[in-house]
Amino acid sequence: MSKDVIFQDLALRDYKETWDYQEDLFQQILDIKIKNRRENTQLPTQNHLLFVEHPHVYTLGKSGDLKNLLLNEAQLKEKNATFYKINRGGDITYHGPGQLVGYPILDLENFFTDIHRYLRTLEEVIILTLKDYGLKAERSKGETGVWLDVGTPFARKICAMGVRASRWVTMHGFALNANADLGYFDNIVPCGIQDKAVTSLNVELGEKEVNINEVKTKVKHYFEDLFEAQLTRKTSTNR
């Protein structure tokens, strides 16, 4: 069992290119696990954490409803946005510049084999990060992700989550609005939830822009702490 996690910051990168990269890493881990089971070997599996910002894109999860995308193909082009149906859980969400997207590709057998605990731990990473900025973030019952002012008329989501897992290997992850253009959320029913708003860290702090590198550092710190992991930076992002 290895809790070492290879960390890569991919900066701004196309969604489909990053999705394909995730799939490659995901399959590499699965192949090792299948080989270990078939041949009774104990080859170690790697763990990965990717940080990325995407150009404007909408993604729809397996359980999502296409009606929650409020744009047609022509309107997507007008907004310089793309759209993908993907293989994570959850409904529709938006990714774009100013949003910190994190993709943990982990073999949970190196950590704990509990998907519910995995999601709650990811949420806690974000909750603790936002606490450092003086925000009381929390969970909303029955709604994965991280929210502010839960239980009030002003409830708003600041971080969306959606994952895929097979043989205890994870992919996809979280999207934390740091300096996001919230106008793009007006084109969807975020996560299929009609009665709650979306917000961004810079909006909550009343700032034009927060230091995204500082946010990344905090997220990495709490990820290491809560997963009891050791992040090792991969300097090259070439596939």
Query: In this predicted model, what pLDDT tens digit does every residue of 194-223 receive, in sequence order?
Result: 557 899 999 999 999 999 999 999 999 999
Is position 183 annotated in a ligand binding site?
Answer: no
Is position 9 annotated in a ligand binding site?
Answer: no
Domain total for the chain?
A: 1
Place 239 in a pLDDT band, splitting at 50, 70 and 90: low
Tally of CB atoms within 10 A around 54: 23
Is position 120 annotated in a ligand binding site?
Answer: no
> Half-sphere exposure of residue 192, counting CA atoms within 13 Å on the CB side?
18
8-state DSSP, 108: G
Residue 238 lies in a domain: no
Backbone φ, ψ for residue 54 (5° rounding): -110, 150
Is position 197 annotated in a ligand binding site?
Answer: no
What is the C-alpha R_g of the chain? 18
Is position 93 annotated in a ligand binding site?
Answer: yes
d(CA 63, CA 60): 8
Instruction: Indicate the burial class of 161 (C-beta count within 10 angstroms; 0-12, 13-18, 19 or more).
Output: buried
Positions marked active-site: 191
CATH code of the domain covering residue 173: 3.30.930.10
Q: Strand, coil or helix: what is 25?
A: helix
**Res 63: pLDDT:** 78
Residue 239 lies in a domain: no
For 128-176, the pLDDT digits (tens) are 999 999 999 999 998 889 999 999 999 999 999 999 999 999 999 999 9
Distance of CA 159 to the CA centre of its chain: 8
Residue 81 lies in a domain: yes
Three-state secondary structure of 180-197: CCHHHHHHECHHHCCCCE
Residue 194 lies in a domain: yes
- For 1, residues 6+ apart whose C-beta sits below 8 A from its C-beta are 109, 110
d(CA 107, CA 110): 6
d(CA 88, CA 85): 9
Is position 133 annotated in a ligand binding site?
Answer: no
Is position 88 annotated in a ligand binding site?
Answer: yes
Q: Provide the domain limits for residue 67.
A: 4-233
Residue 30 lies in a domain: yes
Taking Cα atoms as reference points, which of 9, 19, 116 lies closest to residue 59? 19
pTM of the model: 0.93
Task: Report the chain's mean pLDDT, rounded to a whole number.
Answer: 93
Please state, for a pLDDT cut of 90, what percent of the chain lies above it. 83
For 30-60, the pLDDT digits (tens) are 999 999 999 999 999 999 999 999 999 999 9
Average pLDDT over residues 185-193: 74
* Alpha helices (runs of H) in the chain, residue ranges in sequence order: 15-39, 73-78, 115-131, 201-205, 212-227
pLDDT of 71 above 60: yes
Place 181 in a pLDDT band, splitting at 50, 70 and 90: very high
